[in-house]
Amino acid sequence: MTRLYGKDCMRNKEWIFNISLGNYIKLGSYPEPGCGKPDLKTILEEIKNDGFGIELWMNWNPDKNVFDRPSWPNIRKWCEGCKNLTIHSECVEKDFESVRKEIELASYLKARALIVHVLNFGVVEAEEKLAIDEKYFCEVLKLAEKNNVILALENGRFESLKSFLAIGGKSPVLKIILDIGHINIPSSSLLPADCPDPAKVFFEEFKDRLVHFHFHDNSGKTDDHMVPGDGNIDWKRVLKQLNEINAPHHASFEIRTNFADARQASLRARDYLNGLTV
Ligand SMILES: [Zn+2]
């Protein structure tokens, strides 16, 4: 009897979507006066109840101290039982003590990955500061290895990711997270503007390293962080290609909303993506 393997099995491999806490504070700019103060415990409870995973956003500015060490037992309690847990670094600049704290928190919470940016290692793409501090990068990698924490490096420029892998590629904890919204903007990826399928270029190059994704949409010009389906990204094609390379079905929604509409935006995103037949 012939059975349908391959495509059919893939189709049943369900995606697990995390909600970034950044979605509750417009990805960093704390909401306008009068909005009140989002309560982290309540938000995490709601995310879990809706069947999402969680992406902790380390520059959660409504309460600066919430990720300090004395609060870790609370954070662990609040995240307990969620489908998937990732942590997004504060990503400001090279700061060993700050990244040490994040690595140790990721280890303490048994997070799937700590998401870092090239900024964490002194690369400022917007200012053409592209040199990687190799010694510093290797020290951070060593610390992550010691703590058994995956460092997921987020794009930016296509070439930057390649440069980082050329230096740290032997480390088993160095992985890649691809932000599909960023790939859609030529000035971010720096792939040629006439590249017919930038996402495919990224997928092919980094497929052996992929651990997670960021999902949001835009019109291809500015980094709008819209709900998937509201911009011009061909999500059906993206999901199909990710199936074809057998990518992990783990993504976080990074949508620029505040705590009044973050929940609805993620529910809408999930419905839209689950409704695509790929
Ligand atoms: Zn992202």
Show me where the domains of the chain are located.
7-26+36-274
Q: In angstroms, rounded to a whole number, what is the distance separating the alpha carbons of residues 233 and 229?
A: 7
**Centroid of ligand 1 to alpha carbon of 216 (angstroms):** 8
**Centroid of ligand 1 to alpha carbon of 111 (angstroms):** 17
261-272 pLDDT tens trace: 999 999 999 999
Residue 11: its pLDDT value, please? Answer: 45
Side chain identity at 56, as an amino acid letter?
L
Main-chain phi, psi angles of 178, to 5 degrees: -100, 130
Q: In angstroms, rounded to a whole number, what is the distance separating the alpha carbons of residues 138 and 91?
A: 17
**Centroid of ligand 1 to alpha carbon of 4 (angstroms):** 35
For 141, the enclosing helix (H) or strand (E) is helix 134-146
Q: Which residues pair with 226 in a beta bridge?
A: 217
pTM of the predicted model as reported, rounded to 2 decimal places: 0.93
**Centroid of ligand 1 to alpha carbon of 226 (angstroms):** 12
Residue 13: its pLDDT value, please? Answer: 82
**Centroid of ligand 1 to alpha carbon of 229 (angstroms):** 17
**Centroid of ligand 1 to alpha carbon of 214 (angstroms):** 5
146-193 pLDDT tens trace: 999 999 999 999 999 999 999 999 999 999 999 999 999 999 999 987
> How many degrees, rounded to 5, is the angle at CA 185 between CA 184 and CA 188?
120
In the structure, ligand 1 is a single-atom ion and the residues with CB under 5 Å from it are 179, 214, 254
Top CATH class of 7-26+36-274 equals alpha beta
